Amino acid sequence: MNTTMLQNEISEGFDGKKLRKVIAASSVGTLIEWYDFYIFGSLSVIIATKFFPSDNPTAAFLSTLATFAAGFVVRPFGALFFGRLGDLLGRKYTFLVTLLIMGFSTFAIGLIPSYSSIGFLAPILVLTLRLLQGLALGGEYGGAATYVAEHAEPNKRGLRTAWIQTTASLGLFISLLVILATKKSMSLEAFNDWGWRIPFLISIVMVGISYFIRKNMDESPLFAQAKHEGKIVANPLKESFGKKLNFKFVLLALFGATMGQGVVWYTGQFYALSFLQKVANIEFEQSNYIIAISLAAGTGFFIFFGWLSDKIGRKGIMLAGMLIAISTYRPIYQAMYELADVNQKTEKPNSRQSRTDYHMMDGTVTLSKVTRTIYSYTDGSQLLEERTEKVSHLPSVQREKAVVKKTVHVGQQAFWLLILLVFIQVLYVTMVYGPIAAFLVEMFPTAIRYTSMSLPYHIGNGIFGGLLPAVATYLAAKANTANEVAAAAGQSLPYAKPYLEGLWYPIIIGGVCFVIGLLYINGKDREIND
């Protein structure tokens, strides 16, 4: 493109059709990357049994490495690596590469023979591919957001980039849908045996389509102009993080926006699912439906808040979302807990069904006694209680405490109320996340935009958001232990609701981010043409 063409394109903007193509090409690719990243997480239990047997310490070590390193280390590193490339070579080629790396890694995970077939090579290959996934994800988002923002009309940047913002939730939604559909189409044995590979394998089709759409796109006009005018910096990393003038904005973007956004995002989607399954004991399929329906209902609001941010500003919407979220998390999770709590329900008379089975253990000496009891309640809820204990006539076999597993299937009313409560949290996510791409893009100049916005985004989400499960579990476990110690000593319990203690992490992080954002962010800067 010559200078006149570039200037025309920048000043006049693209026609609607071309802009829609830019948005579609960027969003579909990013959506696929999120899908690829999430199916690994959603199928982690099966993956663990196939590749990381828990009785083998080295395999378990590799599993932990795959879980922690992909989010905490590799994502921010991918942001730096691909951000630098994007600021040197261009947005288009860089996010084309991230798409291919992600697609290849996901497809390849679906092909790896299990640990029982090829031994240690299996977990090593899975770990390597998972790290490649994290690397690709770290580079993708910044490229897509920058690419769309640099094409968009200045007064519609929030609306246009909001399409990129829908992709993370849609990626999660589609991953849940594909897993549930695959599971439904075959027996549980077949799914656990080979069916789990299907969600990984079909990714290659989506990546192929997205690659060919992206391949035919032009470079971003702002980047092309900067390159034409010789304004590309030789070392974007040094420029972004070595100069106080830019680095102070990287820190502000992190602590005043993405840190809070990351925890609100993780709480509304992942913590909600984990709470439903592990604390409220709601069965796997029903809890996934609750999240999937809430996500589907909430996704349109990313676009709405992106559009609204063009009208009334980005800062106010993001900070309002953060403030409302941290103020209401505790009552929302309390309500979720109560909706699934069978102690607060009335059991139907004469409806209890119980069955006991005995299984051989340790040769012929010890038996495993499994008692399954189904309790039915007047609101349509059911509780399946599975009690497993060792029984033996021999005095040498020690009696162990029975293991009790509870699974709740909530009634229709509670089901829809739970969807409403999760939907409210998704709404908070859309408030903080919808306008953030436009907000980040507007903070940095073209020459270092890809690098500078990618790092705070992935630290905010990957690190502050990614820490949520570990810290929340730690806080809840600490409260439970304190209660057990107090109960054993005959004292009153220090924590009335230990299951809500994990929420202090998003509340505190979100609160700090809200104050920093309120104090330091200038909500009026909307210029991206440097």
Kindly state the smallest distance separating residue 492's Cβ from other proteins, in Å: 25
Kindly state the smallest distance separating residue 92's Cβ from other proteins, in Å: 30
Rule CB under 8 A: say whether 516 interacts with other proteins: yes
Cα separation of the two ends of the chain:
20
Binding marks (x or -) toward other proteins, 449..468, rule CB under 8 A?
----------x---x---x-
Separation CA 464–CA 258 (nearest Å):
9
Distinct helix (H) and strand (E) counts, the chain: 25, 4
Separation CA 18–CA 334 (nearest Å):
48
Interior angle at CA 90, CA 309 and CA 307, nearest 5: 10
Site residue total, other proteins (CB under 8 A): 29
State which residue, 60 or 180, has the beta carbon closest to other proteins: 60
State which residue, 76 or 434, has the beta carbon closest to other proteins: 76
Rule CB under 8 A: say whether 243 interacts with other proteins: no
Q: From 234, 222, 85, 230, select the one nearest 147 (Cα to Cα).
A: 222
Rule CB under 8 A: say whether 73 interacts with other proteins: yes
Rule CB under 8 A: say whether 255 interacts with other proteins: yes
Rule CB under 8 A: say whether 443 interacts with other proteins: no
Choose which of 35, 37, 72, 271 interacts with other proteins (CB under 8 A).
72
Rule CB under 8 A: say whether 522 interacts with other proteins: yes
Choose which of 10, 24, 65, 370 interacts with other proteins (CB under 8 A).
65
Residue with tokens 């299984």: 359
Q: Which stretch binds other proteins (CB under 8 A): 147-155, 335-343, 414-422, 509-517?
A: 509-517
Kindly state the smallest distance separating residue 516's Cβ from other proteins, in Å: 7
Secondary structure (H, E, C), 203-245 = HHHHHHHHHHHHHCCCCCHHHHHHHHCCCCCCCHHHHHHCCHH
Separation CA 457–CA 83 (nearest Å):
12
Q: Which of residues 44-63 bind other proteins (CB under 8 A)?
A: 57-58, 60-61
CB count within 10 Å of CB 291 equals 25
Q: Which stretch binds other proteins (CB under 8 A): 140-148, 188-196, 210-218, 249-257?
A: 249-257
CA 363 to chain centre: 45
Kindly state the smallest distance separating residue 52's Cβ from other proteins, in Å: 10
CB 317 within 8 A of CB 305: yes
State which residue, 415 or 444, has the beta carbon closest to other proteins: 444
Binding marks (x or -) toward other proteins, 100..139, rule CB under 8 A?
----------------------------------------
* Residue 332: strand, helix, or coil: helix
Kindly state the smallest distance separating residue 434's Cβ from other proteins, in Å: 24
State which residue, 315 or 345, has the beta carbon closest to other proteins: 315
The residue type of 224 is: A
Q: Which of the 8 DSSP states describes residue 491?
A: P
CB count within 10 Å of CB 222 equals 24
Rule CB under 8 A: say whether 520 interacts with other proteins: yes
Kindly state the smallest distance separating residue 56's Cβ from other proteins, in Å: 11
State which residue, 123 or 298, has the beta carbon closest to other proteins: 123
Q: Enter the tokens of residue 54.
A: 């828990």
CA 408 to chain centre: 25
Separation CA 39–CA 197 (nearest Å):
10
- Tell me phi and psi for residue 393, to 5 degrees: -85, -15
Rule CB under 8 A: say whether 254 interacts with other proteins: yes
Q: From 136, 101, 106, 89, select the one nearest 41 (Cα to Cα).
A: 106
CB 160 within 8 A of CB 151: yes
Kindly state the smallest distance separating residue 451's Cβ from other proteins, in Å: 16
Separation CA 91–CA 95 (nearest Å):
6
Separation CA 413–CA 418 (nearest Å):
9
Kindly state the smallest distance separating residue 490's Cβ from other proteins, in Å: 28
Choose which of 231, 238, 243, 248 interacts with other proteins (CB under 8 A).
248
State which residue, 72 or 377, has the beta carbon closest to other proteins: 72
Rule CB under 8 A: say whether 477 interacts with other proteins: no
Rule CB under 8 A: say whether 512 interacts with other proteins: yes
Residue 112 half-sphere exposure, CB side, CA atoms within 13 Å? Answer: 27
Kindly state the smallest distance separating residue 68's Cβ from other proteins, in Å: 5
Q: Which stretch binds other proteins (CB under 8 A): 136-144, 211-219, 484-492, 517-525?
A: 517-525
Name the site residues for other proteins (rule: CB under 8 A). Answer: 57-58, 60-61, 64-65, 68-69, 72-73, 76, 244, 247-248, 251-252, 254-255, 459, 463, 467, 470, 474, 512, 515-516, 519-520, 522
